[in-house]
Amino acid sequence: MYFFNPIYFIIVLPAMLFAFYAQAAVSSAVSRASKLRSSRGLTGREVAEQILAAGGLSDVRVERTRGGRGLGDHYDPRSRTIRLSPQIFDRPSVAAMGIAAHEAGHALQHARGYTFLLVRNGLFPVVQFASGLAFPLFIAGLIFASTSRLGLGLMDLGIVLFFAAVVFQIITLPVEYNASSRAVAALGDLGLVAGEETVAARRVLNAAALTYVAATAAALAQLLYLLVLRGRRD
């Protein structure tokens, strides 16, 4: 009933296609940069550590994850730890350098009190809870809307909770782009990349950032679809 409405495909399909394109772009960029070896022989771990040292962040650790599924490469602000997958932590490729530098960029944001990062970190537990309830509440409301005013109320509550998730996605955009900007600047300022390496690293970071734009577009499309369904119940 929710997904087989033609309106769903009209509103959401373009965003889904954009998401597929963004994922393909990042896969292609990472694949190419993974084949390009660092001219200085630096692994992702060493790049992250050098950027942290240059930024005066001696209290941030760089750890290798066990790989597999999970959060993947990320910066944990609670423990002040950068966690890198084995293929990023151990390999001296330009892809590993770019991704490690990006995570180090998040650590720099945290240390410098970057506003959007602090807001996102504060919203995360609330949004995680809200997003898990948004669709079940909305669909329950959709089912009972024709027989009870409570159904309309559940739909409205689901929309409000999903709107919080959309706001979180929007706030994430400047956080990710700023981290990538810091990464590119640090790689260049410290002389960790040069020439073709710089281009490849920037391509990886730009493609990765595009996936967040696609995620935001998908969230906005979903929100619009919820609003359309709610409006047809009035």
| Secondary structure tally for the chain: helices H, strands E | 7, 3
Q: How far is CA 126 from CA 33, 48, 121, 218, 226, in A?
A: 37, 30, 10, 20, 21
Residues 228 and 11 sit within 8 Å (Cβ to Cβ): yes
| Residues ≥6 apart with Cβ < 8 Å to 16 | 218
Q: Which residue's structure tokens are 């089912």?
A: 143
Q: Is 46 a catalytic residue?
A: no
* Pair of tokens at residue 81: 């730890």
Q: Which residue's structure tokens are 């009933």?
A: 1
Set 46, 103, 176, 197: catalytic member? 103
> Which residue numbers are catalytic?
103
